[in-house]
Chains A and B, each alone.
Chain A
Amino acid sequence: MSVELVIYPELCHGCGNCVVACPVNASKSTEIAGGKGPQEDVGQILMVEDGAIKIKELKDCNNCATCIKACPVNAIAMEDVE
């Protein structure tokens, strides 16, 4: 079984909790680790753009589900891609 991060931008409120909760994001930028949304592309997995969440770069995602835990509106899920 192969699962992948899936987002539902229509549910997203753009709070950015997932962006700063994601440990991969945080490891890539001290700004994100400090709780601030990234302004530029640092290879982060998730980023809020125009008020909704976007997947930027999935290759470093290890499916830990921390972003899902942080999301207050179920806008992120992990789904079967096979």
Chain B
Amino acid sequence: MVTNIKATEDKNVSIKREAEEKRELCFKDEKCIGCGICEQICPLEAIELGPVGAIVRGEVDASKISIDENKCVLCGMCSVVCPVEALDLIIDGKQIKEIEEYPKLIRSITPEYDYCVYCGACDTVCPQDAIKVMRQLPERAKLVTGEIEVDKDKCISCGMCEDMCPAEAIYLVKNIPTSSNFEIASDIVVDKDKCVYCGICKRICPEDAIKVVCKVCPYGEYEIEEAEVKGDLILNEDLCVNCGWCQETCPKDVFVVEKPFEGELIIDQEACQGCKTCIEVCPCNVLSFPKPSEPGEIADKLYKDEKYCIYCGACQNVCPVSAIEVKRSGMNITPIKSKAWQKAVESLKETLHKPKTKAESGGK
């Protein structure tokens, strides 16, 4: 009999069987969001979800799932439905998603790079740090034109221009006065790379020592080069969980996101005790504690913004008081030929399994 060989590296696991064909199931813990869909679909109960709440909160150092190599038959169901590709079955060197016969969960993020103006909103909201926006702004000095002159004979070194300048373009070279040199400043300097010729220094100067002319104001922008912002939008699809934050936030409609599941997220506000485990576990930043909008208002204990939910069910699994229910009503998956597979995938739409309490699992 051919047995499965398990290899563990850090928190990643691989289970291998080499018979007529080579099969290898690879689990990558850093990709895993702890949703437990693999545990739910496994026909042999070979996968067990770990204490995800405690792991995410840094109180337990362990892999988010454990796989029993003696039960696993390397069927690949878990890797097909894993919404973040933390599990991958490789058959004869080929990933299961590349093999035509197997169904594939449809999820995607498609950026239209040409629309991007590098505002950086997606970078700020992405809960998985999957998007980076790097931009190079043009030099400020090239977008303005004008002239500035300080009459140093009139200047009394009061420093008001320095205090008022919004561009930090004018400053005094300070001098500590002595009996031989009582000047409080030895010079006044204008940094022409920083000056935008706004004229505030001229208006504040008590001695009329500064002359400023902005050429843009009377003549327009004809002699100034166009303000061109260059940049890079870098998307790391490996980290993306298809939550849709970028799609909702982007003012330029750069992103189109397809989600793997449809469903409903139900919160029992009465049952919730505000422990925050779900908020920390949710890979999509769907949940938060709301603040009352006015004093005395009783806000919900737990707030959800369901448009970002991928119905993975991680929150339900970690909730210690069963205050969250995730109902999956639809799966975005390519057609399945096998009856057994159809049934298994369909079972993910049923009420999510409740994590076994210690009493139910016989004290284990």
Q: Which residues of A come within 8 Å of B, CB atoms?
A: 1-3, 21-24, 26-27, 33, 58-66, 68-69, 77-78, 80
Query: Quick one: given A3-B54, A60-B357, A78-B54, are A65 and B60 in contact (CB under 8 Å)?
Result: yes
List A contacts of B298 (CB < 8 A): none
Closest CB of chain B to A20's CB: distance in Å?
Answer: 10
Closest CB of chain B to A56's CB: distance in Å?
Answer: 13
The reply to whether B320 and A23 form a contact with Cβ atoms under 8 Å apart is yes
The reply to whether B63 and A1 form a contact with Cβ atoms under 8 Å apart is yes
- A4 closest partner in B (C-beta): B358
List A contacts of B274 (CB < 8 A): 23
Query: Which B residues between 306 and 360 are near A, CB-CB below 8 angstroms?
Result: 318-321, 355, 357-359
B interface, how many residues as a size bin?
A: 20 to 34
Task: Assess whether B273 is interfacial by the CB under 8 Å rule.
Answer: yes
Our pick among B54, B273, B358, B359 for the contact of A65 (Cβ within 8 Å) is B54
Per the bound structure, the CA–CA distance linking A27 and B320 in Å amounts to 10
Our pick among A3, A23, A61, A77 for the contact of B62 (Cβ within 8 Å) is A3
List B contacts of A60 (CB < 8 A): 320, 357-359
Q: Which 3 A-B pairs have the closest CB atoms?
A: A23-B273, A63-B51, A23-B275
Q: A1-B51, A2-B364, A23-B275 are in contact. List 6 more A-B contacts (CB 8 A).
A: A22-B275, A24-B320, A61-B358, A63-B53, A65-B54, A66-B320
Our pick among B62, B275, B276, B320 for the contact of A1 (Cβ within 8 Å) is B62
List B contacts of A21 (CB < 8 A): 275
The reply to whether B320 and A78 form a contact with Cβ atoms under 8 Å apart is no
Closest CB of chain A to B54's CB: distance in Å?
Answer: 4
Q: Which residues of B come within 8 Å of A, CB atoms?
A: 48, 50-51, 53-54, 57, 59-60, 62-63, 66, 271, 273-277, 318-321, 355, 357-359, 363-364
List B contacts of A1 (CB < 8 A): 48, 50-51, 62-63, 66
List A contacts of B66 (CB < 8 A): 1
Per the bound structure, the CA–CA distance linking A22 and B277 in Å amounts to 11
Our pick among A61, A62, A65 for the contact of B57 (Cβ within 8 Å) is A65
Per the bound structure, the CA–CA distance linking A11 and B355 in Å amounts to 31
List B contacts of A2 (CB < 8 A): 364
List B contacts of A65 (CB < 8 A): 51, 53-54, 57, 59-60, 277
Per the bound structure, the CA–CA distance linking A59 and B359 in Å amounts to 5
- A82 closest partner in B (C-beta): B364
- A24 closest partner in B (C-beta): B320
Per the bound structure, the CA–CA distance linking A60 and B62 in Å amounts to 21
7 pairs from A and B in contact (CB 8 Å cutoff): A3-B62, A23-B320, A62-B319, A65-B51, A65-B54, A69-B59, A78-B51
Query: Quick one: given A61-B358, A66-B277, A68-B59, are A27 and B54 in contact (CB under 8 Å)?
Result: no
List A contacts of B321 (CB < 8 A): 23-24, 26-27
List A contacts of B54 (CB < 8 A): 3, 63-65, 68, 78
The reply to whether A58 and B275 form a contact with Cβ atoms under 8 Å apart is no
Per the bound structure, the CA–CA distance linking A68 and B357 in Å amounts to 19
Query: Quick one: given A1-B63, A69-B57, are A27 and B355 in contact (CB under 8 Å)?
Result: no
